[in-house]
């Protein structure tokens, strides 16, 4: 059986991809790529590697998880080495754990190559530390994509008084803000929303919690984006406009 890798491509800036990731990418016969991966990363792949685009972007057409695993298995059983290339880190909201589990169930060992997750890189790109002794003793990464029974427990999260870093939350930002306010979070809590972090097209806004959704809408920010909620956001570098 050939080798398999789950590779984190980082938040977008090619220079933030690890040396280990570039080495493994250069060894793979087949590369399965998510939409959020910067296409420039593929410069590290072999020129004769087969590149398969599988989507995996919120609200956009994507291959099913079962189809992705089936494709990986087909190539591996044919004697090809396979790199599964994901934006950020494969184990942070990247379904890497599910893919590892599926491959291991078929007797295939997978090498995990971490990437810098957007939940750290995006805030840092505008000067926000996710922890700070004066503001937060910890940070919680949470998906904003939940609904129904999978909805995050916003009351519990507010009670932690830690920095909240929200992935995939832009489409439900109004609902998330409302839930946090109802859970007792201070309406004046500093917040930030960062779109396309570390890329040339990066944009962001800074605002307090109760006006965040309005400023995001006014600036026209969309996905992919990270939302940071907590006192650490006060350290954010103001953008040219829209920040309050």
- Residue 86 appears among annotated catalytic residues: no
What is the average pLDDT across 33-53? Answer: 96
pLDDT digits (tens, 9 = 90+) for 168-181: 999 999 999 999 99
Q: How confident is the model at residue 2 (pLDDT cuts 50, 70, 90)?
A: confident
- Any idea which residue has 């990418």 for tokens? 25
Domain ranges of the chain: 4-113, 118-235
Q: Catalytic residue among 17, 34, 89, 162, which?
A: 34
Annotate 51-64 with DSSP letters as a single string: EEEEE--TTS----
pLDDT digits (tens, 9 = 90+) for 50-66: 999 998 555 555 678 89
CATH fold for the domain made of 118-235: 3.30.950
pLDDT of 150 reads 75
Q: With 90 as the cut, is the pLDDT of residue 129 above it? A: yes
What is the average pLDDT across 16-21? Answer: 97
CATH of domain 4-113: 3.40.1010.10
Look over the chain and give the mean of its residue pLDDT values, rounded to a whole number. 93
Buried b (16+ CB within 10 A) or exposed e, 58-78: eeeebbeeeebbebbbebbee
- Residue 168 appears among annotated catalytic residues: yes
Q: Catalytic residue among 17, 72, 162, 168, which?
A: 168
Q: Catalytic residue among 56, 72, 162, 185, which?
A: 56
What is the average pLDDT across 111-127? Answer: 98
Q: How far is it, in rounded angstroms, from Cα 44 to Cα 10? A: 14
């Amino acid at each position: 059986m050939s080798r398999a890798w789950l590779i984190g491509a980082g938040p977008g800036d090619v220079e933030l991809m690890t040396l280990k990731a570039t080495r493994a990418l250069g060894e793979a016969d087949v590369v399965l790529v998510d939409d959020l991966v910067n296409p420039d990363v593929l410069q590290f792949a072999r020129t004769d590697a087969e590149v398969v685009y599988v989507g995996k972007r919120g609200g956009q057409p994507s291959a099913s998880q079962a189809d992705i695993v089936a494709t990986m298995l087909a190539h591996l059983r044919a004697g090809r080495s396979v790199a599964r290339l994901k934006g950020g880190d494969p184990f942070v909201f990247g379904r890497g754990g599910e893919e590892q589990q599926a491959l291991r169930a078929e007797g295939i060992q997978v090498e995990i190559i971490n990437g810098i997750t957007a939940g750290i890189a995006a805030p840092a790109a505008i000067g926000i530390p996710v922890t700070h002794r004066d503001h937060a003793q910890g940070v919680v990464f949470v998906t904003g994509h939940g609904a129904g029974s999978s909805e995050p427990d916003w009351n519990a999260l507010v009670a932690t008084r830690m920095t909240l870093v929200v992935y995939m939350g832009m489409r439900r930002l109004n609902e998330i803000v409302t839930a946090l306010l109802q859970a007792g979070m201070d309406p004046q809590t500093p917040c930030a929303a960062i779109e396309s972090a570390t890329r040339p097209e990066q944009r962001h806004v800074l605002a307090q919690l109760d006006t965040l959704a309005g400023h995001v809408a006014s600036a026209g920010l969309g996905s992919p984006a990270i939302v940071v909620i907590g006192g650490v956001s006060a350290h954010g570098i103001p953008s040219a406009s829209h920040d309050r």
